Amino acid sequence: MLRSQPSPSTTAEVLVPVAHESRTIRSDGAALADIARAGDDEQNRGYRAFWSFDLSDLRGASVSSATLEFGTGAVVASHDLDESGFAEQGPSSKLWTQLNGLRIYQVRYLPDGLPQYDPERTSELTQAALFEAPTRIDVTNLVKAYAAAGEAERLQVMAAFQRDTNPNMFAEYITWTSVRLAIVYAPD
């Protein structure tokens, strides 16, 4: 957690995911701790990335902004034929169309451990399916609600494509090097 004072009455904080609650879950149930990945692999297994953020220090705070910040590691298309994309509009790689676009969700946090591959989705954080790697998503209203409620301690987020796989025996996925939650708030 990094803190700074943007003004005398507010605090800026950058939260990193809670390590033991943030993983990639594969469609066969395997949990992968060493990578944040969404998409599929050459065996047509789906992958979803999960990040959990500890919001307990925000209870009662007045949140003025909150943004998820994504550091993209790699975007892998299935093969060279998928690189052509569309001529004028749309994605530059069919990765995004074959898996029907990427979505980011808030999922129900379970204090007993990591979520399963298909957890209960409580809200969608993207306005529509993404056809390029996300860099920033505004979650101000969501984090404001957490701070006001004063009871929820964790925000858990999932990145998932709309289709788990397109059974073509090629890997198509995105990885992230980092995901952080940047918050500006006035402490209680």
Q: How far is CA 152 from the centre of its chain?
A: 19
Residue 25, beta-bridge partner list: 31, 48
14 contacts: CB under 8 Å, gap ≥ 6: 1, 2, 180, 181, 182, 183
User: Rg of the Cα trace of the chain?
Assistant: 17
Range 59-90 burial, b when 16+ CB lie within 10 A, else e? bebebeebbbebeebebbbbeeebeebeeeee
Residue 95 pLDDT more than 60? no
> What's the confidence (pLDDT) of residue 5?
53
Q: For residue range 53-76, list pLDDT tens digits in order.
A: 999 999 999 999 999 999 999 988
> What's the confidence (pLDDT) of residue 116?
87
Percent of the chain, pLDDT > 70?
85
> What's the confidence (pLDDT) of residue 79?
53
Contact 75, 98 (CB under 8 A): no
Residue 123, beta-bridge partner list: 106
> How many angstroms separate the CA atoms of 76 and 138, rounded?
26
Look over the chain and give the mean of its residue pLDDT values, rounded to a whole number: 86
Number of Cβ within a 10 Å radius of residue 5: 9
